[in-house]
Structure 1
Amino acid sequence: MEIKDLVLPSINQFASDYTSGRLKTDNFFHYDLNDEKVYEKRYSELMNRQFYRTELSEAIREFMRPLEINERVHQNIEALKEAGTVAVVGGQQAGLLSGPLYTIHKAISVISLARQQEKALNKKVVPVFWIAGEDHDYQEVNHVYILKNGRPEKTSYPYYSAGKPMVSDIGLDYETAVSWVERIFESYGETDHTNALISGMKEILKNSRNFVDFFARLMHEWFKEYGLLLIDASDIRLRGLESGYFTTMIKKAPEITAAVLEQQEFIASEGYKKAIEMSGNAANLFYYDLTDKERSLLELDGRGGFTAPGQSFTEAELLHIAETGPEALSNNVVTRPLMQESVFPVLAFIAGPGEAAYWAELKKAFELFEMKMPPIVPRLNFTLVERPIAADLDDLGLSLEDVLTGKTDESLQQFIEKIKDENLENLYQHMLESVQKAHADFSSHALTIDAALEPLLKKNQELIQKQLEFIHDKADGANRMKYSIIIRKYERAAASLYPGNSPQERIWNPFYFLNKYPDLVQKLAEKDYEFNNKHKAVYL
C-alpha cells in the first residue's frame, strides 16, 4: 500500500477557507489549528472542568458489553474515569454495512489523531465514535450503492415507516437483511474472500436487533484493536447522564437560538452561506414519543412554552421530563455539539466539510454555556486507487487530480470527438440539410392543395429525421466500437474514483473494496497520518 498526498479544491467554500488559513479563526472558532500549542492549551482548559467520568465510562461499557470488549477497549474505558484522560471524538449516522467510505475515514481520523496527541502530550487520549442513533432520517442510512451498467445505483433495505422513529429503534429482520446483504455482494462479484465476508455478516446480523447494533458490531470488529470506544447518542444510560444538561438547554432555549442567529448573521456578512436552517422560534430539541416512536422537533410558542405537532408543553412540564424521563428528549444539530462537549472531555472534534461550517455557527452558543468549542479538525480524505485503475489512468494520460476534479467526462468527450469519422459526419449533415430542404419544398406545395395536411407533414418530417439520426448513430456506434477498450478505461476510472460525478468516499461502501482486499481497514488504521488538509491517494 502506497499513500500520496494530493492538493485538491474543496467543494465547500467555508471548509476550503478554513483549511487554507484564510479565515480569521477567532471570529468563528475558539482554537486556531495553526497554533503549535493548540492541543496543550485545550488540554489545560479541560483540566479546569468537571465531568461525570465514572458514569460516562460505565455507560460506554454497558453499551459495548454485547460486542465482547477486548483488552484494548477495556483499558480505554477504564482510562476515561481518570481525571487526566481526554478524548478525540467523531461521529456519524448508523449506516447499513457502515454506510459510505467516509464513515471509516472519520473513524480512522479519530484513531490517528488520538494516537498522535497521546504521544505529543504524554497524556492518555482515547478515541471515541459517537453514533447518531437518535436521528430519524432513515433515508440517509437505509442504502448502499452498487455498480450497475457502469453507473452507481442505490439499493435500499426494504423497510417502510409512516412515522419518524429514531434509527436506534428501527429493527432488522434477519432473513430480509441477509437476503439484502447477499444481493449487495452478488453485485461485487465473487472473489476468494466473498464467502467469508458473507458468513461474517450473517453472524453479525444474527446478534443485531436494529440498525445501531449492526453498525456498532461492524465498527467494533474493524477498530477494536485500536481501542475505539463506541456510544449511541440515544443510549438510555447516556440519556440519564444528560438529564441536567437537558434542563439547562430547556431553560436557555430562546438564548441558544438568538446566539446562533447572531453568529449566522455575522457569517453571512463575511460572505458565507449558512449551514444550519433554523427559525427564530426554534427550541433545538426533539421530543420523542416512546409509545408511538415518533420524533418531533420542538418550537418555542412565544409564551414561555414549547410545541410539537399535536402537542404542547409548559417549561415546567418539559423540565420534569428532563429530570424523570430524559430518554424522551434528544438533540438537534445545534444542541448535539453542546451536549457532546458537556459530557466528554473533548480534546478535538473530527469534522467533515459540512460539519466544520455548522460548528462555526455555534461559537456564541458555546459561550452562552461558558464553554469553548474544541479544536475542529477536518477529517482525513482518502481515495482508494486499485492498481488496474492506476494502469488505466497511465494509458489514458490522465492524472488522478484530473479524475478527482471531475475532468474525466470532459476528457472522454474530447476523445470521442477526436475519433469521429469526419466523412460520416459531413455526409450526414449534407443529407440532413438536403432532406430538410426537399421536405420543406414538398410540404409547401402540398399545403396549397390541402391545408389540413400540416399536422401530418410535421409528423412525417419528425419521423424521417429520427430515422436519419438512428442510421447515423448506428454507424457512429460501429465506429466507436473500434475504440471500445479505450472508452471502457475512461468509464472504469470514473466509476471507481469519481462515481456519478461525486467523490468516491460518498458513494462506494467499504465492502466494495473489502471483497478484494479483506485487511484494508486494518492497514489504513495502523498508519500514522499528517493532518495537513491534503487528500490521501491510497494505491492498493
Structure 2
Amino acid sequence: MKIESIVIPATSDFASLYIEQKEPVKGFFHYDITENTVFEQRYHDVMGRDFDRAGIANCIEEYMEKFPQTEHTKKSIEKLRNEGSTVVIGGQQAGLLTGPLYTIHKIVSIIKLAQQQEKLLEKPVVPVFWIAGEDHDFLEINHIYAEAGQTMKKISFAGNLDEKRMTSDISYDKAEMRKWVERVFMHFGERKHTKEILSTLHKSILKYETITDLFSDIIMSLFKEYGLLIIDSAHPSLRQLEQPYFAKLIDNCSEITDAVLNQQESIMGYGFNKVIEMDKNAANLFYYLDNERILLDYHADGNYFEAKKANFQIKKEDIHNLLRAYPERFSNNVVTRPIMQEWLFPSLAFIAGPGEIAYWGELKLAFDTLKFKMPPIIPRMNMTFIDAAIERDIVELELSLRDILTQGIDSNKTNFLETAADKDLDNMLDQTKDFLEGQYGSIINRLEENDRGLVPLARKNLSFHMNQIDFLIRKANMSLETKHKTILDKYNRIEQHLRPLSSPQERIWNVFYYLNEMGEEFIHQLMMENYEFDGAHKIIKL
C-alpha cells in the first residue's frame, strides 16, 4: 500500500468550513481542532468531570463476551477502568457485511487517533465504536452494492421490513442470510480467499440471531488485534447505566429543545440549512411500545409526554416511574445520543462524518444548557482505494484524479467520443436533416394552398425520413463505441471504482470486495500505515 493525500472539498459547505476551521462554522463548536494543544485542553476538561468508568467497562466487557477478541481487547477494557483514561469514540448503524466503506474508514480513524494521542499524552486512550442498534430504519442497512457488468447493483436482503423495530431486535432467517451472502460474493467473483471468507461468514450467520450481533462479530473479526471496543446502544446493561441520564433528559427536555432551535436559527442566519428536524414540543426521546419505537413530544403546559401516532400519553411523574422500572424501553434520538455518549464516556474526541459534523454544530447551546462541552469533533478520514490496473488506466487516459473524485468522468468520456467521431459524416447527416426540413416545409406550404388533405401525409413522410436519419445516427454512434470499446471500458471501470453511481467510492463499495481480493491482509496493511488528521483525502494505492 502507498498513501497520497489530495485536497478536495467535503460533501457539504458546512463540513468544508469546519475542516478549515473558518467562521462562522468554527464558532458553533467548543474546541478549535487546529490548535496544537486541543487534546491537552480536552484531557484537562475531561479530568475535571466524574465518570463511571468501571460501570461502562463492565458493560462493554459483558456485551463483547460472545464476539471475537484478543489480549488487546482485554487490555483496552482494563485501560478504560483506569481513572486517567479517555476514549476516542464514533459510531454507525449496523450495516449488512459492515455496510458501505465509510464504516471501515470511521473505525480506522477511531483506532489510529486513539493510538496517536495515547503516545502524545502518555495517558491511556481507548478506541470505542458505538453501534446504533437503537435505530429503526432497516431499509438504510439491508443492502450493499456490487458490480454487475458496467454498473453497480443494489443487492437487498428482504428480511424483516418492520421499520419501527430497533435494529438490535431484528432477527434474520439464517438460510436466507446465507443465500444473500452467497449472491453478493457471486458478484465479487471467485478469488483465492473466497472460500475461507464464506466459510467464516457462514459460521457467524449460524452463531447469531440478530443483524446487530452479526455486524459486531464481523467488525471484531476484522479489528480484534487493535484494541477496539464496541458497544450496542440498545444493550440492556447499557440502559441500566443510562437510567439516571435519561432522567436528566426528561427533566431538561424543553430547555434542550429550545437550545437546539436557537442554535439552528443562528446557523440559518448565515445561510446554512438545518439538518435536525424538530419542533418546539420535541422531547428528543423514543419510547419502545409494543415492539414499536415511538418518538415523544413534551407539552409543558400540561406537564405530559405524548406520541400522537401511537395514541400514547403520560404525565411527567409517571414517565419517571416507567424509566425506573423499564430503562430498556427508552432510547435517544439524534439530539440526545451525543449528550448521552458524553455523560457515559470520558471522550477525548468524537470521530464524525460530514453529516454528523453538521448536526453536532446544532448542539453547542444544548451542551451549554447542561453545563459541559461537546468534545473536539474530528472529521473521519476520507479514503479512496485504487488498484494498480485502475491507476494505469488513469495515467494512460491522462485524467486528473482530483477531477474524477469531485466531478466524475462523463465529460472526459464525451470529449473522447467527440474527438473520435467522423465529423464529416456528422455534418452530412445534420445537413441532410436541415435540407429535408426545408424542402418538406415548402411542400407543406404548397399543399396548404392547393390540397390540404395531403398535408398529414407530408408531415408523416417528413417524420419517417427524420426517424430514419436519427436511426442511422444512433447506429453510427454505436459503431463508434464498438470501435473504441477498449478505451471506453477503461473510462467505465475508472468511474465504477472511483465515482460509482455519481457518488464517492466510500458510499457505494463494501469492504468485502477488497477482502475477497486481498484477504484479511487488506485490513492489516491498512492499519500499518501512518495517517494525518489534516482534512485531506487519502488515496490508498493497493
My pick for the range that moved more, 467-476 or 429-438, is 429-438
Specify the SS of the correspondent of 1:10: coil
Is the Cα–Cα contact under 8 Å of residues 267 and 274 in structure 2 kept in the other structure? yes
1:519-538 matched pairs, under 5 angstroms: 519-538=521-540
1:465-480 matched pairs, under 5 angstroms: 465-480=466-481
Specify the SS of the correspondent of 1:254: helix
Q: CA deviation at 1:68?
A: 3.8
Specify the SS of the correspondent of 2:517: coil
Q: CA deviation at 1:451?
A: 5.5
Is the Cα–Cα contact under 8 Å of residues 51 and 342 in structure 1 kept in the other structure? yes
Change (3 A) 1:394 1:77: same
Paired residue total: 538
1:38-60 per-position Cα deviation (integer Å, ceiling 9, x unaligned): 11111111112111222211111
1:138-537 matched pairs, under 5 angstroms: 138-289=138-289, 292-301=290-299, 302-308=301-307, 309=309, 310-444=311-445, 461-518=462-519, 519-537=521-539
Is 1:100 equivalent to 2:100 in the alignment? yes
Q: CA deviation at 1:463?
A: 4.2
TM normalised by structure 1 equals 0.96
Is the Cα–Cα contact under 8 Å of residues 99 and 143 in structure 1 kept in the other structure? yes
Q: CA deviation at 1:3?
A: 0.4
Q: CA deviation at 1:459?
A: 5.5
Is the Cα–Cα contact under 8 Å of residues 385 and 537 in structure 1 kept in the other structure? yes
Change (3 A) 1:441 1:517: same
1:409-444 per-position Cα deviation (integer Å, ceiling 9, x unaligned): 111111111111112101111221233334444445
Partner amino acid, structure 2, of 1:63? Y
Partner amino acid, structure 2, of 1:534? A
Is the Cα–Cα contact under 8 Å of residues 188 and 515 in structure 1 kept in the other structure? yes
Change (3 A) 1:472 1:29: same
Q: CA deviation at 1:481?
A: 2.1
Specify the SS of the correspondent of 2:518: coil
Which structure 2 residue ranges, 5 or more long, are not aligned?
A: none
Q: CA deviation at 1:464?
A: 3.6
Matches of 2:224 and 2:421, distance apart in 1: 55
Matches of 2:104 and 2:402, distance apart in 1: 22
Matches of 1:423 and 1:207, distance apart in 2: 67
Q: CA deviation at 1:266?
A: 1.2
Matches of 1:389 and 1:26, distance apart in 2: 38
Change (3 A) 1:462 1:66: farther
1:10 corresponding residue in structure 2: 10
1:443-478 per-position Cα deviation (integer Å, ceiling 9, x unaligned): 455566775776676555444433321121112221
Change (3 A) 1:379 1:455: farther
Change (3 A) 1:442 1:140: same
Matches of 1:363 and 1:474, distance apart in 2: 60
Partner amino acid, structure 1, of 2:224? K
My pick for the range that moved more, 430-439 or 383-392, is 430-439
Is the Cα–Cα contact under 8 Å of residues 138 and 163 in structure 2 kept in the other structure? no
Q: CA deviation at 1:502?
A: 0.7
Partner amino acid, structure 2, of 1:136? H
Change (3 A) 1:407 1:175: closer
Is the Cα–Cα contact under 8 Å of residues 87 and 349 in structure 2 kept in the other structure? yes
2:40 corresponding residue in structure 1: 40
My pick for the range that moved more, 341-350 or 159-168, is 159-168
Partner amino acid, structure 2, of 1:17? L
Matches of 1:179 and 1:456, distance apart in 2: 58
1:329-363 per-position Cα deviation (integer Å, ceiling 9, x unaligned): 11000000000000011010000011111111100
Is the Cα–Cα contact under 8 Å of residues 25 and 32 in structure 1 kept in the other structure? no
Matches of 2:441 and 2:463, distance apart in 1: 12
My pick for the range that moved more, 97-106 or 269-278, is 269-278
Partner amino acid, structure 2, of 1:522? H
Matches of 2:114 and 2:373, distance apart in 1: 20
Matches of 1:314 and 1:414, distance apart in 2: 67
Partner amino acid, structure 1, of 2:161? S
1:136 corresponding residue in structure 2: 136
Matches of 2:457 and 2:215, distance apart in 1: 62
Q: CA deviation at 1:9?
A: 1.5
The RMSD of aligned alpha carbons is: 1.7
Specify the SS of the correspondent of 2:506: helix
Change (3 A) 1:517 1:460: farther
Which structure 1 residue ranges, 5 or more long, are not aligned?
A: none
Q: Give the percent of matched residue pairs that are identical in Structure 1 and Structure 2.
A: 43
Change (3 A) 1:162 1:211: closer
1:42-81 matched pairs, under 5 angstroms: 42-81=42-81
My pick for the range that moved more, 124-133 or 76-85, is 76-85
Is the Cα–Cα contact under 8 Å of residues 10 and 16 in structure 1 kept in the other structure? yes
Matches of 1:201 and 1:437, distance apart in 2: 68
Is the Cα–Cα contact under 8 Å of residues 260 and 362 in structure 2 kept in the other structure? yes
Q: CA deviation at 1:149?
A: 3.3
Q: CA deviation at 1:27?
A: 2.3
Q: CA deviation at 1:505?
A: 0.4
Partner amino acid, structure 2, of 1:394? V
Specify the SS of the correspondent of 1:530: coil
Change (3 A) 1:425 1:526: same
Is the Cα–Cα contact under 8 Å of residues 172 and 208 in structure 1 kept in the other structure? no
Partner amino acid, structure 1, of 2:369? L
Specify the SS of the correspondent of 1:128: strand
Is the Cα–Cα contact under 8 Å of residues 351 and 376 in structure 1 kept in the other structure? yes
My pick for the range that moved more, 452-461 or 89-98, is 452-461
Partner amino acid, structure 1, of 2:491? Y
Matches of 1:288 and 1:68, distance apart in 2: 30
Specify the SS of the correspondent of 1:183: helix
Is the Cα–Cα contact under 8 Å of residues 268 and 274 in structure 1 kept in the other structure? yes
Is the Cα–Cα contact under 8 Å of residues 159 and 173 in structure 2 kept in the other structure? no
Q: CA deviation at 1:62?
A: 1.1
1:20 corresponding residue in structure 2: 20
Q: CA deviation at 1:270?
A: 2.5
My pick for the range that moved more, 6-15 or 213-222, is 6-15
